[in-house]
Chain A
């Protein structure tokens, strides 16, 4: 079973990447957005987004989803960072899982954008992903895990 990080611990589960070539959702595979859309009555409780998918399509189905996976086909395609923040700002509370070809040194930023599960395509370095997840103890911007920007926290401290 593929390894992943959840709640700062290494674990494994049986979810596999979506199979876009198929009309059917194979067992243990995340459905793609088109497969999710085609399923009737919002019976599918997971979906995997690809860069280019329109996040807003999920807007009024967020509480029917347990896992939204956001795929990173290459480590330099940063669209998924914005997708994650968008989903969290729209009120999504379920698991937000980064999948694919991101690298350990991106986990810190991914976490700040709202991801809480990390499933790299190559799980042989999974400890490194965990080790790199909290390399900074301070940050300037507002983010999902720290909704107040530093300037507001500085003020709170001073006031």
Chain B
């Protein structure tokens, strides 16, 4: 993974000193609330319903075991002993004290971490595939490019006061695991006609109250132009994005208003001024970035033998077999797998993890996966490089810690924002809805029979729980002061990206498990062969689901 040099360290250390001074001035009354607001947001600090919430950056989801141990220590010492993995692969603390935040940032800086630009109207953490570097369907490792974007976007002087937040995602594989169509900028590494890899650039995708799938602004961009081209897009947005209405301030609204052709012309005009300038990437810089993401020392394993031994183990212990099928992912190196650790056990808020579990995962990373861990935008964690022969003992240790729920990609592996329990923006709670659904559908055989299914819950229009792109989406809405839930169907986050369609009038919180049960029963009755929920929905449309859910109980 990327290791800071003296420059990176100095920038982060100076940032800690700056925020310490800003906090001191705020508490002394020298900075007003209005002034402190963007300053604390750009250091990841929200003021929540109950306490401040601190969002710690996990650049493109990659963590070392030393960093995970530090996070365990911070949650224990400064918080209530648990942390939360967010849908931007970041880590959130729900109970820090403002006065102690500078100390937390200093602790983070000691392990090359920070909270820079994890909130606010600026360029946020760049995200990518949680299986980057190990996926079998990868064209090139996206992480060096993410790191290049991270450095360019960190404390960028021109783009710290944008009309609204700005999110970039990078995908480099056949299957899109980074949801690039739902980002302000989505970048995909693709070959051109000559077979040379470059970037396809999408712009103006996003969720929130106006969900939009990104438009192609550049079919293929030479790699060395990445930063100047991104800078040109940001410059158009910074100057022309709407600032009069925060709900119309995202770049997707600007792209829609201008039309993608006119938007592209404006970007090209800005780019003419920047192209081939000093920010053009050099071969040396790309090589330097790539040098941090080389393969770990994999053992030379006979994949066939390892696979057969594993199959025998799974047959002898079907509970392990379930976990193996659902929670491990193919690896490009024979004899290895990537393991997803489910943070979606019933009764625990989706994405939450305790200090002890963090410590355990750090140990497991050291023992089983070259000392590295990853966070995923589905709010789970990953050990990316596990030998197949070690999976059984790893699984046993995870099971003891409550971290072996075998539900990855299935209904109860749902995505969920912190909602009204924590967030002051939320219209409704989301965690109790998630728990009620998990409790209702605990039978694993039934879940497996339903097949892959993504259910996403957001407590408000800001869509942190990505409800628009869930196969089933649930959105908390406010109806005359009461919490209600709107259900949508047919969303998708992959290459066939789609925005879900609203089923009909919203429901009370109590009704949601029944609604989901009715949706699933409709699917099961109409399903042909091995169809997934999404395939059946795409074939039959929304009507049969509507009829069943809203049928009069007479």
Interface residues of A (CB under 8 A from B): 51, 75-79, 81-83, 85-86, 89, 103, 105-106, 108-110, 112-113, 125, 128, 135-143, 147-152, 154-155
Residue of B nearest to A153 (CB): B7
B243 within 8 A of A: yes
User: Which residues of chain A are near B161, meaning CB under 8 Å?
Assistant: 75-78, 81, 106
In the complex, per-residue mask of B220-264: 1 if CB is within 8 Å of any chain A CB, else 0: 000000010000000100110001000000000000000000000
The listed residue with most B CB atoms (<10 A of its CB), out of A51, A76, A128, A135, is A76
User: Which residues of chain B are near A108, meaning CB under 8 Å?
Assistant: 157
Contact call B279/A141, Cβ cutoff below 8 A: yes
User: Which residues of chain B are near A110, meaning CB under 8 Å?
Assistant: 157
In the complex, per-residue mask of B264-288: 1 if CB is within 8 Å of any chain A CB, else 0: 0000000001000111011011001
Q: How far is the CA of A109 from the CA of B235 in the complex (A)?
A: 15
User: Which residues of chain A are near B279, meaning CB under 8 Å?
Assistant: 141-142, 149
Contact call A85/B158, Cβ cutoff below 8 A: yes
B156 within 8 A of A: yes
Q: How far is the CA of A77 from the CA of B242 in the complex (A)?
A: 10
Identify which of B10, B35, B159 contacts A103 (C-beta below 8 A).
B35
Q: Could you list 12 examples of A-B contacts with CB < 8 Å?
A: A79-B238, A81-B157, A81-B159, A103-B35, A105-B31, A105-B35, A136-B11, A136-B15, A137-B14, A139-B157, A142-B279, A155-B284
Chain B interfacial residues counted at CB < 8 A = 42
Identify which of A76, A135, A152 contacts B282 (C-beta below 8 A).
A152
B99 within 8 A of A: no
Identify which of B21, B152, B160, B277 contacts A140 (C-beta below 8 A).
B152
Q: How far is the CA of A78 from the CA of B241 in the complex (A)?
A: 11
Contact call A77/B38, Cβ cutoff below 8 A: no
Q: How far is the CA of A111 from the CA of B273 in the complex (A)?
A: 20
Contact call A105/B157, Cβ cutoff below 8 A: no
Contact call B282/A142, Cβ cutoff below 8 A: no
Contact call A136/B14, Cβ cutoff below 8 A: yes
User: Which residues of chain B are near A151, meaning CB under 8 Å?
Assistant: 151, 281-282, 284-285, 288
B449 within 8 A of A: no
User: Which residues of chain A are near B151, meaning CB under 8 Å?
Assistant: 140, 150-151
Given contacts A75-B34, A76-B161, A154-B7, contact A135 B278 (CB under 8 A): no
Contact call B7/A138, Cβ cutoff below 8 A: yes
Q: How far is the CA of A89 from the CA of B10 in the complex (A)?
A: 28
User: Which residues of chain A are near B21, meaning CB under 8 Å?
Assistant: 135
In the complex, per-residue mask of B359-378: 1 if CB is within 8 Å of any chain A CB, else 0: 00000000000000000000
Contact call B273/A113, Cβ cutoff below 8 A: no
Identify which of B17, B22, B235, B288 contacts A82 (C-beta below 8 A).
B235
User: Which residues of chain A are near B35, meaning CB under 8 Å?
Assistant: 75, 103, 105
User: Which residues of chain A are near B17, meaning CB under 8 Å?
Assistant: 135
Residue of B nearest to A147 (CB): B278
Residue of B nearest to A81 (CB): B158
Q: How far is the CA of A135 from the CA of B21 in the complex (A)?
A: 10
Q: How far is the CA of A83 from the CA of B240 in the complex (A)?
A: 12
User: Which residues of chain B are near A82, meaning CB under 8 Å?
Assistant: 158, 235, 238-239
Distance from A79 Cβ to chain B, minimum over Cβ atoms (Å): 6
Q: How far is the CA of A58 from the CA of B7 in the complex (A)?
A: 38
Q: When A and B form their complex, which 9 residue pairs have the shortest distance between CB atoms, in order from nearest?
A: A78-B161, A112-B157, A109-B157, A151-B285, A140-B151, A81-B158, A142-B278, A82-B238, A103-B35
Given contacts A105-B22, A151-B288, A154-B288, contact A78 B162 (CB under 8 A): yes
Q: How far is the CA of A150 from the CA of B279 in the complex (A)?
A: 9
Q: How far is the CA of A72 from the CA of B38 in the complex (A)?
A: 15
B535 within 8 A of A: no
User: Which residues of chain A are near B10, meaning CB under 8 Å?
Assistant: 137-138
Contact call B284/A143, Cβ cutoff below 8 A: no
Distance from B156 Cβ to chain A, minimum over Cβ atoms (Å): 6
Residue of A nearest to B10 (CB): A138
User: Which residues of chain A are near B278, meaning CB under 8 Å?
Assistant: 142, 147-149, 152
B39 within 8 A of A: yes
Given contacts A76-B38, A79-B238, A109-B157, contact A135 B152 (CB under 8 A): no
User: Which residues of chain A are near B30, meaning CB under 8 Å?
Assistant: 125, 128
Interface residues of B in 1-37 (CB under 8 A from A): 5, 7, 10-11, 14-15, 17-18, 21-22, 30-31, 34-35
B154 within 8 A of A: yes
Residue of B nearest to A75 (CB): B35
Interface residues of B in 134-180 (CB under 8 A from A): 151-152, 154-162
Contact call A113/B285, Cβ cutoff below 8 A: no
Identify which of B31, B157, B243 contacts A141 (C-beta below 8 A).
B157
Contact call B282/A155, Cβ cutoff below 8 A: yes
Known pairs A75-B38, A139-B11 / 6 extra A-B pairs, C-beta < 8 Å: A79-B239, A81-B157, A105-B39, A106-B160, A135-B14, A151-B288
Contact call B155/A136, Cβ cutoff below 8 A: yes
Q: How far is the CA of A26 from the CA of B17 in the complex (A)?
A: 44
Given contacts A76-B38, A78-B159, A151-B151, contact A138 B238 (CB under 8 A): no
Given contacts A103-B35, A105-B22, A128-B30, contact A78 B238 (CB under 8 A): yes
Contact call A141/B39, Cβ cutoff below 8 A: no
User: Which residues of chain B are near A139, meaning CB under 8 Å?
Assistant: 11, 155, 157
Distance from B191 Cβ to chain A, minimum over Cβ atoms (Å): 25
User: Which residues of chain A are near B273, meaning CB under 8 Å?
Assistant: 86, 89
User: Which residues of chain B are near A76, meaning CB under 8 Å?
Assistant: 38, 121, 161
Residue of A nearest to B158 (CB): A81
Residue of B nearest to A77 (CB): B243
Distance from B239 Cβ to chain A, minimum over Cβ atoms (Å): 5
User: Which residues of chain B are near A142, meaning CB under 8 Å?
Assistant: 277-279
Q: How far is the CA of A149 from the CA of B273 in the complex (A)?
A: 16
User: Which residues of chain A are near B227, meaning CB under 8 Å?
Assistant: 149
Q: How far is the CA of A128 from the CA of B279 in the complex (A)?
A: 32
User: Which residues of chain A are near B243, meaning CB under 8 Å?
Assistant: 51, 77, 79
Q: How far is the CA of A81 from the CA of B151 in the complex (A)?
A: 19
The listed residue with most A CB atoms (<10 A of its CB), out of B11, B30, B121, is B11
Given contacts A79-B238, A136-B155, A151-B288, contact A109 B121 (CB under 8 A): no
Distance from B193 Cβ to chain A, minimum over Cβ atoms (Å): 30
Distance from A107 Cβ to chain B, minimum over Cβ atoms (Å): 11
Contact call A81/B7, Cβ cutoff below 8 A: no
User: Which residues of chain B are near A75, meaning CB under 8 Å?
Assistant: 34-35, 38, 161
In the complex, per-residue mask of B61-97: 1 if CB is within 8 Å of any chain A CB, else 0: 0000000000000000000000000000000000000
